[in-house]
Amino acid sequence: METLNHAKVTRVALVGAGAVGASFAYQLTTASLCEELVIIDINKAKAEGEAMDLNHGVSFASSPMRVWAGDYSDCGVADIVVITAGAPQRPGETRLDLVEKNAKIMKSMISDIMDSGFDGIIIIASNPVDIMTHLAWKYSGLPKHRVFGSGTVLDTSRLRYMLGDYFNVDPRNCHAYIMGEHGDTEFAAWSNARIYGKSVEQLLEEHDEYSWEDLEDIYVNVRDAAYHIIERKGATYYAIGLGLLRLVKAVFRNENTLLTVGAHLDGEYGLHDIHIGVPAIINRQGVREVVEIELSQEEHEKMQHSANVLMKTMEPVL
């Protein structure tokens, strides 16, 4: 579906009209970040239905936006392609269980996207997201800063929410990161955490009602949150939809903001040729730089373990 004056139009192409994709699409239509959204899905009727539903609410939005169900040729002039498509995580499955089937899907999607002449930024949310992001980067041939994953942006948001509840403070004043794999080997970087400007150690020293045991429980609940939600409602999609919107906003508004994304590492944290959840500065170019925060020796070991698990799991599909 062609549009005149492409240079003056901002377009997001969404690949995947499932629950995560639809949640992201809905939130994007209310955010005034771009002028066009094309939804691409192997189930064309589903993509058409989502586009119709979203268009019926455009008159309520703060700014107009064109939404339609398209195909991969529509990616050619897109600024950003967001990929949420792939086999979903079923009850009892880990994200890493999805590797082989989603690797095949990713290769096909990236081939079709690049055949369109696409030359923008790709953001991956398909699980296991770190591995899918690394494969998407390899398949696309794009520079490393223009392909990144949602990484641990959602896990970090979950951590900040739970810390805010625990310390009775606005979660936005809880500066703490979940790093590593978006999955079972992720870890909380407690040594770098700051709650309204104070370290965790300082707060525990000042308040008897706080404890490391409670913080460990918070970390476990963050790590296992997806399992708890899937058990109750079958899938997670609202929060990751917001997380993807946050990443798109950081790109379009050239924010130079720090977010925990699945970025490519070239020696940072002692790791090479891997995508994994780390703090990184995001702007109009994608990943401006990976930020190496100070970690304890134990946290460094956890980061290495997480990377080892990802690389071992990825070997068969490489």
Q: Which of 220, 206, 243, 246 is nearest to 162 (CA)?
A: 220
Task: Tell me the CA end-to-end span of the chain in Å, nearest whole number.
Answer: 35
Q: Which of 72, 70, 64 is nearest to 35 (CA)?
A: 64
Tokens of 173: 């004043």
Helices (H) and strands (E) in the chain, counts: 10, 14
- Range list of β-strands (E), 33-155: 36-40, 66-69, 80-83, 121-124, 147-149
- Range list of β-strands (E), 120-256: 121-124, 147-149, 174-175, 178-179, 187-188, 194-195, 198-199
Q: How far apart are CA 38 and CA 214, in angstroms?
A: 44
Q: How far apart are CA 227 and CA 237, in angstroms?
A: 13
**Which of 134, 145, 182, 275 is an active site residue?**
182
Q: How far apart are CA 163 and CA 172, in angstroms?
A: 10
Residue 305 a catalytic site member:
no
Amino acid in position 3: T
DSSP three-state, residue 261? strand
DSSP label at 78?
-
To the nearest 10 degrees (0 to 180), the angle between helices 19-29 and 44-55 is 30
**Are the CB atoms for 240 and 150 separated by under 8 Å?**
yes
Strand pairing report for 80-83 and 11-15 = parallel
Active-site residue list: 182
